[in-house]
Amino acid sequence: MAEGGSLCRSEAQYGQPGQRLTLADGDTVWVALQGAHVVSWQAAGSERLYLSPRNHWDGQGAIRGGIPVCFPQFNQRGSLPKHGFARNSAWKAGQSVVQDEHVQQDFTLTWSAQTLAIWQPRFEARLRVALLPGELAVTLTVHNTDTRPLQFTGALHSYLAVADIGQTRLHGLEGQPEWDGLTDHHASGSGVLQFDGEFDRVYGAAPAALQLQDGAKCLEISQSASWANSVVWNPGREKCAAMADLPSDGFSHFLCVEAAQVFAPISVAAAAHWQGWQRFCLLGD
């Protein structure tokens, strides 16, 4: 379906099935059905997400880069595989809406014998990817289709492309509770975050949008209040060199800024649902 030059269509890339969303102005997103994973977001003529050139694209292993959906577990904080099973599962493309300056596509993942073998709740997860000029919004909705409450943690683990991590600045977390995962130290966030080595911190989500400054480029990052945390991560040079799915200089070209639920699980009552989103908007180029 297309109107005014905008469209949504099935398109395979890297040997994997997916969906291509394109606006009349040329902004475009490609979403892999593995994980409902936003792999690419091109806006105003530039790629805005980082994607590792060392991905295997075997349809099994996690995709490094883009926006992985971590559900129903954050990292290794539980008994499930790291970051849960959603990012390695096959999602189904669903409803789409196409207008002149707005394209959106829904993707769904539903409980199965495979999920029940490792996680008991019956559920339906829906990821809505919405593209507007200079703006991308990703919304995760979790429906509890079981007869008892379910609990989960997770994240939208966004890899944002930067020209040089050493010159990158992140604004907006001043005064927010901060936990440093490298030192197990608790503090308050500083006004401007800079990156000169491995960085792994969890913040209380700020009430206002963050700003990622990458030279002359500026990206506004906002998230719904339903996510309690914001995670900021970069592996640094040494850890990056030890990661098989990243090139040795990969660390210098991205910063992860994640809408997340890390410490306290979200509880969803039987027959109820939860929704959380993250949005990116170009402010300058």
Instruction: Please determine, for residue 173, whether its predicted confidence score (pLDDT) is greater than 90.
Output: yes
Instruction: Give yes or no for a contact between 158 and 231, defined as CB atoms under 8 angstroms apart.
Output: no
Band (275; pLDDT cuts 50, 70, 90): very high
In angstroms, the CA 89 to CA 4 distance is 34
Is 0.95 topped by the overall pTM?
Answer: yes
- CATH number at 38 reads 2.70.98.10
Mean pLDDT within 154-160: 98
Place of tokens 């199965």: 112
Q: If we measure between CA atoms, which residue out of 176, 263, 160 comes closest to residue 212? A: 160
Q: If we measure between CA atoms, which residue out of 154, 162, 133 comes closest to residue 49? A: 162
Give residue 249's domain range. Answer: 2-284
Instruction: Give yes or no for a contact between 78 and 107, defined as CB atoms under 8 angstroms apart.
Output: no
Q: Domain total for the chain?
A: 1
Q: Tell me, what amino acid is at 170?
A: L
Band (40; pLDDT cuts 50, 70, 90): very high
First to last CA, the chain: 31
The rounded percent of the chain whose pLDDT value lies above 90 is 93
Q: How do strand 273-284 and strand 217-223 relate by DSSP bridges? A: antiparallel
Mean pLDDT within 143-170: 98
Instruction: Please determine, for residue 6, whether its predicted confidence score (pLDDT) is greater than 90.
Output: no
Cβ contacts of 275 within 8 Å, gap of 6 or more: 139, 140, 141, 142, 224, 226
User: Residue 83 region, left (φ>0) first, then alpha (ψ -120 to 50), else beta?
Assistant: left
Name the residues annotated as catalytic.
Answer: 157, 258
Instruction: Please determine, for residue 2, whether its predicted confidence score (pLDDT) is greater than 50.
Output: no
DSSP characters for the chain?
-EETTEEEEE--BTTB-EEEEE-TTS-EEEEETBTTEEEEEEETTEE-B-B-TT----SSSPP-BSB-EE-S--TTSSSSSTT-SGGGSBPEEEEEEEETTEEEEEEEEE--HHHHTT----EEEEEEEEEETTEEEEEEEEEE-SSS-EEEEEEE--EEE-S-GGGEEEES-TTSEEEETTTTEEEE--SEE--SS-EEEEEEPPSS-EEEEETTEEEEEEE-TTS-EEEEEE-HHHHHHT-TTS-TTGGGGEEEEEEEEEEEEEEE-TT-EEEEEEEEEEEE-
Instruction: Please determine, for residue 60, whether its predicted confidence score (pLDDT) is greater than 90.
Output: no
Classify burial at 124, counting beta carbons within 10 Å of its beta carbon; exposed 0-12, middle 13-18, buried 19 or more. Answer: middle
Instruction: Please determine, for residue 132, whether its predicted confidence score (pLDDT) is greater than 70.
Output: yes
pLDDT at 1: 40
pLDDT at 4: 54
pLDDT at 5: 74
Q: 82-120 pLDDT, tens per residue? A: 999 999 999 999 989 998 899 999 999 999 999 999 999
pLDDT at 47: 98
Mean pLDDT within 130-159: 98
Cβ contacts of 100 within 8 Å, gap of 6 or more: 3, 4, 5, 6, 24
